[in-house]
């Protein structure tokens, strides 16, 4: 989604010094993920959730109604509960948040792979829509270096107004504050991208080479309110498209896989079928072995490591299932970095 930039000034992006004294990049590529608290503590989680749940793209309620409920009721309780969950997955030896650690690894690897592909003078960084490191801070850093071209690649394969559109909002609001605007491009979605689907299939097949095939493969996506789809959000359709393409790559028949939605929040109806009840029903029906993959998550995080691999696992086993096998997210898998590289090369082809 290009934004027309003004004519370059006499200052050359290639000659502008970076903070480290090195020539500034001519192009910045920003991998944008959702976000993470700074620590697995109630105070840190409360700050993170307050920013996240105050985004009108996430909660479409009038602020005068929503903010008192959020500040007085939801945050005090949810922050403590979420902090306990974050403690279960926190990895101090790897930088704490798995989401942040994997996103940074992806950025580091992608920078190298782009260089090997012949795209020189490119800086690749990781940023979070909520929490740190922030998107605006990195855009400001590049702008101060004189970088004229910036590509934002949200790590949401399927577009939703609750995720990708929020990144677009923030980036355009920042650019709109600049007299000399950089040229911005934003990758809207890649739900049916061949490289993305191939990476998912490669991850799954490698898992099956070690553990064997399950009776049922469950593909669990993050949910959104059903009313969002009724208003025109294409997210559900794109999730189904990704799932069908992955099933085709894996040679699965319709009875061999399920598409579900997780992480429901509040009492409103969200996209269905819900993940945990589906796993419980499969167990009651006599299914003994299931594999579960989360195609909509580029990096393992709270929703995959705690909600899926702990809570949903326990629910499946408690209802009669015998073996629950979680397939990790794409993370730093080489096939995924290859897909990201190809996405960047296509979207920067004329730069």
pLDDT band at 5 (very low <50, low <70, confident <90, very high): very low
Map out the domains of the chain with their CATH numbers.
27-190+334-348 (3.40.50.1400), 194-326 (3.40.50.1400)
Tens-digit pLDDT profile for residues 133-149: 999 999 999 999 999 99
| Element at 3 (helix H, strand E) | none
CA distance 273 to 261: 6
Tens-digit pLDDT profile for residues 266-313: 888 999 999 999 999 999 999 999 999 999 999 999 999 999 999 999
Average pLDDT, the chain: 93
| Element at 66 (helix H, strand E) | helix 63-69
Contacting residues for 181 by C-beta, under 8 A, at least 6 apart: 3, 5, 6, 175
> Looking at residue 16, what is its pLDDT?
39
End-to-end C-alpha distance for the chain, whole angstroms: 14
> Looking at residue 2, what is its pLDDT?
38
pLDDT band at 18 (very low <50, low <70, confident <90, very high): low
Q: Does 143 show up as a binding residue in the annotation?
A: no
Contacting residues for 41 by C-beta, under 8 A, at least 6 apart: 83
Count of other CB atoms within 10 angstroms of residue 55:
15
CA distance 55 to 174: 16
Count of other CB atoms within 10 angstroms of residue 349:
7
- With beta carbons less than 8 A apart as the criterion, state whether 305 and 98 touch: yes
> Looking at residue 94, what is its pLDDT?
86
**Residue 183: closest CA among 159, 225, 151, 210:** 151
- With beta carbons less than 8 A apart as the criterion, state whether 156 and 163 touch: yes
Count of other CB atoms within 10 angstroms of residue 292:
26
Paired with 260 in beta bridges are 220
Find the radius of gyration of the CA atoms of the chain: 21
Q: CB under 8 Å, gap of 24 or more: what pairs does 102-107 form?
A: 102/298, 102/299, 102/300, 102/329, 102/331, 102/332, 103/31, 103/33, 103/128, 103/155, 103/298, 103/299, 105/331, 105/332, 106/31, 106/155, 106/298, 106/299, 106/331, 106/332, 106/336, 106/337, 106/340, 107/31
Contacting residues for 236 by C-beta, under 8 A, at least 6 apart: 224, 229, 271
Q: Positive or negative CA dihedral for 74, 76, 79, 81?
A: negative
Q: Does 347 show up as a binding residue in the annotation?
A: no
pLDDT at 4 over 70: no
pLDDT band at 250 (very low <50, low <70, confident <90, very high): very high
pLDDT band at 23 (very low <50, low <70, confident <90, very high): confident
**Residue 27: closest CA among 135, 99, 125:** 125
């Amino acid at each position: 989604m290009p934004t027309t930039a003004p004519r370059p000034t006499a200052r050359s992006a290639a000659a502008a010094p970076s903070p480290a004294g090195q020539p500034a990049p001519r192009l910045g590529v920003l991998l944008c993920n959702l976000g993470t608290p700074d620590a697995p503590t109630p105070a840190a989680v409360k700050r993170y959730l307050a920013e996240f749940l105050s985004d009108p793209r996430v909660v479409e309620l009038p602020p005068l109604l929503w903010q008192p409920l959020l500040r007085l009721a939801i945050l005090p309780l949810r922050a403590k509960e979420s902090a306990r969950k974050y403690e279960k997955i926190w990895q101090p030896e790897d930088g704490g948040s798995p989401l942040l650690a994997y996103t940074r690894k992806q950025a580091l690897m992608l920078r190298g792979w782009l260089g090997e592909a012949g795209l020189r003078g490119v800086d690749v960084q990781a940023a979070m829509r909520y929490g740190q490191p922030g998107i605006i801070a990195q855009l400001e850093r590049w702008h101060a270096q004189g970088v004229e071209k910036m590509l934002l690649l949200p790590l949401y394969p399927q577009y939703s107004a609750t995720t990708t559109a929020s990144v677009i909002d923030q980036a355009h609001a920042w650019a709109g504050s600049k007299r000399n605007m950089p040229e911005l491009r934003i990758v809207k979605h890649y739900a049916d991208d061949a490289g993305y689907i191939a990476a998912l299939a490669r991850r799954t097949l490698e898992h099956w080479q070690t553990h064997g095939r399950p009776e049922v493969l469950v593909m669990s996506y993050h949910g959104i309110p059903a009313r969002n789809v009724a208003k025109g959000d294409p997210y559900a359709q794109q999730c189904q498209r990704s799932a069908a393409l992955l099933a085709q790559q894996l040679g699965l028949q319709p009875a061999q896989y399920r598409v579900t939605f997780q992480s429901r929040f509040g009492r409103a109806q969200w996209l269905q079928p819900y993940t945990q009840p589906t796993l419980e029903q499969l167990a009651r029906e006599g299914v003994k072995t299931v594999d579960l993959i989360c195609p909509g998550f580029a990096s393992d995080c709270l929703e995959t490591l705690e909600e899926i691999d702990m809570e949903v696992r326990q629910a499946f086993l408690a209802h009669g299932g015998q073996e629950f096998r979680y397939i990790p997210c794409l993370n730093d898998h080489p096939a995924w970095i290859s897909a990201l590289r190809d996405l960047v090369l296509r979207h920067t082809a004329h730069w």
